[in-house]
């Protein structure tokens, strides 16, 4: 059974940082491309970072230079370091394989950026 468990969200002031973690199970993690996604209230879910099995990464312009995705294949875990956070980064953050598998979304972790 495929499962993704996200953690590390919270309330942070603008300009602050958070580090999200996602523990994966039920997949061949070391060969899987992984992604972090987010969904803000009233908006569609969007992709914010990807990492290939070999470690190459990609980001949309909205987070490039502020977010960093990484992975630990020994722990079946993918991370998202978020710096210089903005109020528009407020959303529920999810991880999934990339491209995403519709049936495997976890509960996500809430990130709120507010003063």
What is the mean pLDDT of each successive set of 10 residues along the chain, which is 115 residues long? 96 98 96 97 96 96 98 97 98 96 90 97
**R_g of the chain, CA atoms, integer Å:** 13
78 contacts: CB under 8 Å, gap ≥ 6: 21, 22, 24, 34, 36, 51, 69, 70, 71, 72, 95
- Give the model's pLDDT for residue 63: 98
- Give the model's pLDDT for residue 103: 81
- Give the model's pLDDT for residue 102: 81
Q: Are 113 and 89 in contact (CB under 8 A)?
A: yes
- Give the model's pLDDT for residue 35: 97
């Amino acid at each position: 059974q495929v499962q993704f468990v996200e953690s590390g969200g919270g309330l942070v002031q603008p300009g602050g940082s958070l580090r999200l973690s996602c523990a994966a199970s039920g997949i061949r993690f070391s060969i899987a491309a992984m992604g972090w996604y987010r969904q803000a209230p009233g908006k569609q879910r969007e992709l914010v970072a990807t990492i290939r099995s070999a470690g190459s990464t990609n980001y949309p312009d909205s987070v490039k230079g502020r977010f960093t995705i990484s992975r630990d294949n020994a722990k079946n875990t993918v991370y998202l370091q978020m710096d210089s956070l903005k109020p528009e980064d407020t959303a529920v953050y999810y991880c999934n394989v990339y491209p995403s598998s519709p049936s495997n979304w976890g509960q996500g972790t809430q990130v709120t950026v507010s003063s």
